[in-house]
Amino acid sequence: MSTSNKINRRDFLHIGWTLGLGTILPAALAGCGGDIGDVMEALPPVSGETFVAPAMVTPVDGVLDITLTLSYVQTTLNGKLVNLRSINQSIPAPTLCVNAGDTLRIKVVNQLPPNPYSNEPARHLRYPNSTNLHVHGLHVHPGLVRPGVYGDYVMDDPTLGIQPGETRLHEYGIDASHPAGAYWYHPHLHGSTAIQVGSGMAGALIVRGEIDRVPEIAAALERIFMFQAPLSGKGSPGQLESFSDVTVAVPDADILINGVKRPTIVMRRGEVQNWHFINAEIARYLNLSLDGHVIHSYSHDGNTRPRLLEYRGNGVDGLVMAPGNRESVLIQAGLPGTYYLRTQAYDMGSDAPLPEEILAVIVVTDAAKPMALPSGPLPAPPVLAHIDDAELARGGGLKRSIVMRGMSDQASVLHPPPDEFPDWHYETDNTDFAGTVFAMGSAEEYSSSAPGMPNDFEPFQSRNAKKQVVALGSVEEWTIYNMNRVQHPFHIHINPFEVIKINGAAVDPFWADTIGLPAGGTPENPTSVTFRTRFLDFSGAYVMHCHILSHEDMGMMQTVEVTGAERVARKADA
């Protein structure tokens, strides 16, 4: 086993990166800056602050070129020596900041040790150190950009991953019309996703655009909040090697912000700050509130809202974020005092509600800094225009119904082939997953022998797993059904969607790429979310899945294959 030298948690954020053509900004800088590429000066330290900003990398001449090296890092977690997988020896990984219209080029170097011998019956779980890279939320090419250069390529057969000792080059042409906002990147290889993201392998990705030029937003100090809860496994020293360690409903680990537990942030009375929240946990929902303050959201999952949306907390109206969600918010400091950023108690449908936790301490000083919040409509790119009935009809108007279900009570009726049975059920170590099948199906096709059971309800790793075939340029309406009491968070790659109904009732439309399905579903009375989406620009195969990552690793995922000739040339294809 290969490990790095021992470092402490604060040092996580001060290890050097390997760069190509990018410019690195020190962790003391609290934001990506106004226009990417500007020369920035380090801010003077603020007395009493313990908030640590991840290091940031910005492009040069429209290209951000960086090498991400995957390796173990040894540190302490809750007083225990642990050996965590990391990106560039840092948890979280560096923040990548680009402008809409730039090219992002990432070289991934897998320096994790060879995959250990495993007698795990589920074959796709035997590759904890093989990997790939997903840029979560970006509308970019999903396949080969050109020979030897990959886009958001996450075809999730373990043999297609980046094996230990291998290197892969990714290139993403970010169109000038791309929505600006908060995104993130993380590994996404089927069978190893929960272990790797649960270890801490993730970083923020910020796309700059018109929203950043709104005067009140441009004037605000920017902060990145990577919410993570790194897990230590039973291996020595605290090494996360067994899938069993990530199969609990909600792993019992401290929530960290940029690698720090409960940091302190200092603000001045009347000051407005710009915070990007990224829920990079593998299973836990967040229900955020800030004592005595309103959270003003201007962007959800990187998609600009028409106007500010207010979350007041009060134990009820919190900002709920499923795993994988991002929210960009403005905070205006109130009266001098000490306040807590909390995740309030929340019932995500697990065995017990999530408890309230204090995530950060906000100290407001009496030194005034009067600033304003945006008051008018916010600028949004045309790609986020509302999809009305007429556009849906012009785009083909196809409607699909997708089912997400984890089954332990009726798993036997699925009759997996004998050679596939171990890949459908996780029986090792007698965890809560024992005897359970996690899969996605089609609600239009039901088994006559088992009411409420789709005929094609098979996990992703089955040779007969369902695939959604979509025509390039089409516009479709999908309803995602949840047949479990737990809130499965649905995520689709490449194309965002506009939510129009929840449980069949119309809502004010909003754009997302990840959404927590309502809890409390049953096979007889499932809950649901209905959305519309445009399949634009890119053909090829990508995936949709549950973003409780252990559910994804056990098969709650399907392939989406977009067919047709691409009509729009992208910078990365040049």
Which tokens in the block code for residue 131? 């990997």
Query: Would 302 be classed as within a structural domain?
Result: yes
Residues 193 and 256 in one domain: no
pLDDT at 431: 86
- In one-letter notation, the amino acid at residue 121 is P
Question: Which residues, at least 6 apart from 107, have a Cβ–Cβ distance to it below 8 Å?
Answer: 20, 66, 67, 68, 167, 168, 169, 170
CA dihedral 24→26→32→34, nearest 10 degrees, is -100
Pair 135, 93 in one domain = yes
Domain extent for 266: 243-368
- Please tell me whether residue 210 adopts helix, strand or coil conformation: helix
User: Are 52 and 182 found together in one domain?
Assistant: yes
Contact between residue 501 and residue 530 where contact means Cβ atoms under 8 Å apart: yes
Tell me how crowded residue 351 is: count the other CB atoms within 10 A of its CB. Answer: 10
Q: Residue 158 corresponds to which amino acid? A: P
The domain boundary, picked from 339, 368, 397, lies at 368
Q: Is residue 231 part of a domain?
A: no
Domain-located, residue 225: no
Q: Which two tokens stand for residue 441?
A: 């199906």
365-374 exposure pattern, b = at least 16 Cβ within 10 A, e = fewer: beeeeebeeb
pLDDT value of residue 40: 28
* DSSP conformation letters of 378-398: PP--GGG----HHHHHHTEEE
Tokens of 474: 């089409």
> Do 185 and 271 lie in a common domain?
no
Report yes or no on 5 lying in a domain: no
What pLDDT does 409 receive? 62
- Gap between the Cα atoms of 74 and 107, Å rounded: 23
Is 88:69 a contact under the CB 8 Å cutoff?
yes
Residue 192 and residue 333 in one domain: no
Q: What is the pLDDT of residues 353-388, one digit of tens each?
A: 999 999 999 999 999 999 999 998 999 999 999 999
Using alpha carbons, select from 456, 327, 306 the residue that is nearest to residue 378: 306
Is 479 inside any structural domain?
Answer: yes
Do residue 112 and residue 186 come from a single domain?
Answer: yes
Task: Tell me the three state secondary structure of residue 128.
Answer: coil
Is residue 269 domain-resident? yes
**DSSP code of 503?**
T
Instruction: Find the distance separating the first CA and the last CA of the chain, reported in whole Å.
Output: 41
Spacing of C-alpha 217 from chain mean position: 24
Instruction: Find, among 371, 374, 372, the residue nearest to 305 by Cα.
Output: 374
Q: Verify that 42 and 183 share a domain, yes or no.
A: yes
Do residues 72 and 85 make contact, with C-beta atoms less than 8 angstroms apart? yes
Q: Both tokens of residue 194?
A: 């929960």
Strands (E), 44-152: 56-58, 63-77, 80-87, 95-99, 103-110, 134-136, 144-146, 149-150
Q: Give the residue from 167, 190, 210 where a domain finishes.
A: 210
Q: What are phi and psi of 296, to 5 degrees?
A: -100, 105
Chain-centre distance for alpha carbon 210: 23
Does residue 352 sit in the same domain as residue 489? no
Q: pTM of this prediction?
A: 0.92
Cα–Cα distance, 494 to 142 (Å, whole number): 7
3-state secondary structure of 159: helix
* pLDDT tens digits for range 250-269: 777 899 999 999 999 999 99
Considering the domain architecture, whether residues 398 and 511 belong to the same structural domain is answered as yes
In a domain, 229, yes or no: no
Of 452, 467, 463, 428, the residue nearest 550 (C-alpha): 428
Note whether 528 and 437 are same-domain residues: yes
How many helices (H) and strands (E) would you count in the chain?
5, 35
Q: Last residue of some domain: 324, 339, 368? A: 368
Q: Is residue 3 part of a domain?
A: no
What span, in angstroms and rounded, lies between the C-alpha atoms of 85 and 82?
10
Domain total in the chain: 3
Do 161 and 202 lie in a common domain?
A: yes
pLDDT 10s digit of each residue in the chain, 574 long?
Answer: 333 333 343 444 333 334 444 444 433 333 454 332 332 233 445 678 999 999 999 999 999 999 999 999 998 887 888 899 999 999 999 999 999 999 999 999 999 999 998 888 899 999 999 999 999 999 999 999 999 999 999 988 888 999 999 999 999 999 999 999 999 999 999 999 999 999 999 999 999 999 999 999 999 999 999 999 999 887 778 888 889 999 987 777 899 999 999 999 999 999 999 999 999 999 999 999 999 999 999 999 999 999 999 999 776 679 999 999 999 999 999 999 999 999 999 999 988 899 999 999 999 999 999 999 999 899 999 999 999 999 999 999 999 999 999 988 665 567 788 889 889 989 888 888 888 899 998 876 554 445 555 556 889 999 888 899 999 999 999 999 999 999 999 999 999 999 999 999 999 999 999 999 999 998 889 999 999 999 999 999 999 999 999 999 999 999 999 999 885 444 444 3
CA angle 134, 234, 193 (to 5 degrees): 10
d(CA 280, CA 242): 20
Residue 344, both tokens: 């309030």
Instruction: Please report, for the domain that includes residue 545, its CATH number.
Output: 2.60.40.420
CB 231 within 8 A of CB 199: yes
Distance CA 441, CA 446 (A): 9
Quick one: 260 and 134 in the same domain? Answer: no
Strand partners, 399: 477
Question: Could you give the 3-state DSSP secondary structure of residue 63?
Answer: strand
β-pairing, 286-290 vs 319-321, is antiparallel
Q: Is-cis flag, bond preceding 92, omega within 30?
A: yes
Check if the beta carbon of residue 342 is closer than 8 Å to that of residue 289.
yes
